[in-house]
Amino acid sequence: MSISDWFKAREARRYTAVNGERVAGDVPDGVWNKCSSCKRIVYEGQLVANLRVCPYCGNHFDLTAFERIDLLADPGSFAEFDAGVGSTDPLGFVAAKPYTVSLESARERSGLTEGVVVGRATIGDHPVVLGAMDFRFIGASMGSAVGEKIARSFEVATSERRAVVLCTASGGARMQEGMLSLMQMAKTSAAARRLAEARLPYISVLTNPTMGGVTASFAVLADVVLAEPGALIGFAGPRVIEQTIKQHLPKGFQSSEYLLEHGMVDEVVVRGQLTARVTTLLGYLAGGGEQA
Amino acid sequence: MTRRHVMEFERPLVELEAKLGELRQLDLTANPELAAEVAALAVEIEALRESTYADLSAWDRVQISRHPDRPKAQDYLAAIFTDVVELHGDRCYGDDEAIVAALATIDGRRVAVLGHRKGKNTRENIARNFGMAHPEGFRKAMRIMRLAEKFGLPLVTLIDTPGAFPGIEAEERGQAWAIAESLALLSGLRVPVVAVGIGEGGSGGALAIGFGDRLIMLENSYYSVISPEACASILHKDAGKAAEVATCLAMTATDLVGLGIVDEIIPEPVGGAHRDPGEVFGAVRGRVSEALKALSGRDPDELVSMRYAKLRAVGVIEEVQG
């Protein structure tokens, strides 16, 4: 037995204890994840059954765009649009590796064309445009294509009188498209404003992490801003701030709970209650009120 | 003689100029050979001066845009506007000196002016946080935008910031929220908006007051999604590669005209705006006035939908039919 095999065997010995209820299904036995927060081992089946929330400490694992959509949309109601909209490499950007290579490998890895998936759906029978960002795709950073899909989402909703529900997760503006990316902040904010002028509701769900140019544009322009527990949300990244002020940051800085305390988000909602909460909110905001 | 700030790329030229200066102090009447050499050196320097400033890289321009003597927003306010009334405070938290807000008159036209404000010296720069605004700065800017809209005053903005301030208090008070709201407000403002890049255009903090119906840039100003240093340290783990990255980021005025983001470029004197501020003030006044004249009398609905169409057109995408 080599040393590395011995370590593997020891890992297996140490962690068999948490092998609790297995969930039947197509998940192979023995696939496990280590919770980044409590460091315990969670079996894939358990995680799926618990909406990818750690059953021990409540840590919310990342969701892919389609996992997020499955969570929120009424079953079978989601119809994606603009699935083929993708960024190109308008600047011929090469740093460390060419942008075209980053794009290609992100597409291969995620099976997506870009960092956000958008479509028509219903949530609790309310017609909406629903979008979810996918952090696996170059950190779901916003370049021309993400900006375009978000702007079109607001436009489709405005012309079809739908509400908009967007789940964000992003490192910020996509550096590799330079100013074209920065301008998407203004473009998406302008589109969000037009939806607001049409008095249609917009609910955003900020998930881990939502940073930079995405936070500082459409993500926080919603009528109601929700956040998932423990998400990192902010403008400047924690490392940039530490380097600037030459101080360590307080514990929990830029977390959902911290932002709730500072009046920046309306509510921190656990994943298991998210769909119900969004449905209730849509009832209030999309119901027309008394003056309709 | 005051010490002159020397930029990296002009160092060889400045050193030669200094040597020539010293040689010219000497009495050369008794030494015609040396006199001839001095004359030759002067010719050489002239050629070097031409080539040094002829073909500036993006990184050279970044240095010019950050030059301590480069005219600042307050210099433009003093030089090209009259009857300036500065307004203070966001009515919420405080008065952020990193943003200057004023009512002012340009060529007889009453306008509102917003600008990022850097200092001229260390003391001023500390008070103004080197032109890096906190949320209250952007909220002050929004107050002035609403004021301009309410009373039908066109808005002129002067862009010159390394970026919005990355700090604990800025995050606590909602830096992202303030910028996002400013973007939304500016995009739908029912008066003409003319934005002028006069120095640094650093990311979201610049954009918050940095777009409109016309976006004009001085030749050596830059506008970028991220500072070249930060981009280099993220992508190369080496801030020293900033020069290389600056070219990649397409952040110069010429690059941005090519991308359809910037409408026009105002040329600067050889070596940069600080070499002849008077000339630059004159050019900026002329172009801003012309832009305001062209936009005046437009129906507000038309103005706002034109601005939206302009923003909407920015981006390069491909559409694969699925």
Cβ contact, residue pair B318, A85, below 8 Å = yes
B112 plus B32 within the same structural domain? no
| Whole-number pLDDT of residue A7 | 55
Among residues B24, B62, B69, the alpha carbon closest in space to that of B45 is found at B24
Any idea which of A238-252, A268-282, B57-71 has the lowest mean pLDDT?
A: A238-252
Any idea which of A7-16, A122-131, A176-185, A229-238 has the lowest mean pLDDT?
A: A7-16
DSSP per-residue letters across B76-115: HHHHH-EEEEEE---SSS---TTEEEEEEEETTEEEEEEE
Q: How far is CA A115 from CA A230, B31, B301, in A?
A: 22, 74, 34
Per the structure, the count of domains in chain B is: 2
| Whole-number pLDDT of residue A128 | 98
Nearest neighbour of A186 by CB, restricted to B207, B249, B319: B207
Name the residue of chain B whose CA is nearest to A112's CA. B322
How much is the ipTM here?
Answer: 0.94
DSSP per-residue letters across A187-201: HHHHHHHHHHHTT--
| Whole-number pLDDT of residue A28 | 52
In a domain, B2, yes or no: no
B125 plus B234 within the same structural domain? yes
Looking at CA atoms only, how far is residue B231 from chain A in angstroms? Answer: 7
- Which of B:200-239 have CB within 8 Å of A? 203-204, 207, 211, 223-226, 230-232, 234-236
Task: State the Cα–Cα distance between residues B196 and B121, nearest whole angstrom.
Answer: 23
Q: Is the pLDDT of residue A63 over 80?
A: yes
> What residues does CATH 3.90.226.10 cover in chain A?
62-285
Question: Looking at the domain covering A62-285, what would its CATH class be?
Answer: alpha beta
B240 plus B267 within the same structural domain? yes
Q: Where are the alpha helices (DSSP H) in B112-167?
A: 122-127, 135-150
Q: Is the pLDDT of residue A23 over 50?
A: no
B95-131 pLDDT, tens digit each:
999 999 999 999 999 999 999 999 989 999 999 999 9
Residues in A touching B162 (Cβ below 8 Å): none
B307 plus B168 within the same structural domain? yes
| Whole-number pLDDT of residue B239 | 80
In a domain, B138, yes or no: yes
Looking at CA atoms only, how far is residue A31 from chain B in angstroms? Answer: 33
B136 plus B32 within the same structural domain? no
In a domain, B321, yes or no: no
| Whole-number pLDDT of residue A21 | 41
Nearest neighbour of B318 by CB, restricted to A88, A218, A220: A88
Among residues A225, A222, A224, the alpha carbon closest in space to that of A196 is found at A222
| Whole-number pLDDT of residue A288 | 73
Nearest neighbour of A221 by CB, restricted to B168, B175, B180: B180
For testing contact with chain B, the best of A154, A179, A220, A257 (most B CBs within 10 A): A179
Tokens of B101: 């807000």
Any idea which of A18-22, A76-80, B165-169 has the lowest mean pLDDT?
A: A18-22
B46 plus B90 within the same structural domain? no
Q: Is the pLDDT of residue A30 over 90?
A: no
CB of A178 closer than 8 Å to CB of A246: no
In a domain, B75, yes or no: yes
In a domain, B320, yes or no: no
Mean pLDDT of all residues belonging to chain B: 94
Residues in B touching A245 (Cβ below 8 Å): 167-168
B132 plus B26 within the same structural domain? no
- Looking up tokens 């302008």 gives A190
Looking at CA atoms only, how far is residue A34 from chain B in angstroms? Answer: 27
Cβ contact, residue pair A187, B312, below 8 Å = yes
Any idea which of A155-159, A232-236, B217-221, B230-234 has the lowest mean pLDDT?
A: B230-234
Contact with chain B for residue A244, Cβ under 8 A: yes
B142 plus B221 within the same structural domain? yes
CA angle (B312 as vertex; B309, B316 as ends), nearest 5:
135
B68 plus B199 within the same structural domain? yes
Contact with chain A for residue B36, Cβ under 8 A: no
Nearest neighbour of A190 by CB, restricted to B170, B187, B244: B187
Task: State the Cα–Cα distance between residues B286 and A187, nearest whole angstrom.
Answer: 29
Task: State the Cα–Cα distance between residues A15 and A42, nearest whole angstrom.
Answer: 10
Residues in A touching B320 (Cβ below 8 Å): 84, 86, 113
Phi, psi of A54 (to 5 degrees): -60, 125
Residue B173: DSSP 8-state:
T
Residues in B touching A190 (Cβ below 8 Å): 183-184, 187-188, 307-308, 311-312
CB of B162 closer than 8 Å to CB of B224: no
Contact with chain B for residue A95, Cβ under 8 A: yes
Q: Is the pLDDT of residue A29 over 70?
A: no
Q: For B290-316, what is the mean pLDDT?
A: 97
CATH code for the domain in which residue B173 is found: 3.90.226.10
The domain of B163 spans 62-312
Looking at CA atoms only, how far is residue B206 from chain A in angstroms? Answer: 10
- Looking up tokens 């919420």 gives B92
B288 plus B259 within the same structural domain? yes
A117-167 pLDDT, tens digit each:
999 999 999 999 999 999 999 999 999 999 999 999 999 999 999 999 999
Please list, in sequence order, all residues whose beta carbon lies within 8 angstroms of the beta carbon of residue A141, skipping any fewer than 6 positions away: A115, A170, A171, A172, A173, A174, A175, A181, A214
The neighbour count for residue B40, using CB atoms within 10 Å, is: 10
Cβ contact, residue pair B171, A250, below 8 Å = no
CA angle (B120 as vertex; B119, B125 as ends), nearest 5:
35
For residue A129, with 0-12 CB atoms within 10 Å meaning exposed, 13-18 middle and 19 or more buried, which class applies? buried
- Which of B:85-114 have CB within 8 Å of A? none
Any idea which of A1-15, A16-30, A256-270, A274-288 has the lowest mean pLDDT?
A: A16-30
Kind of pairing between the strands at B193-201 and B155-161:
parallel
B85 plus B50 within the same structural domain? no
Cβ contact, residue pair B311, A186, below 8 Å = yes
Residue B117: DSSP 8-state:
-
B131 plus B235 within the same structural domain? yes
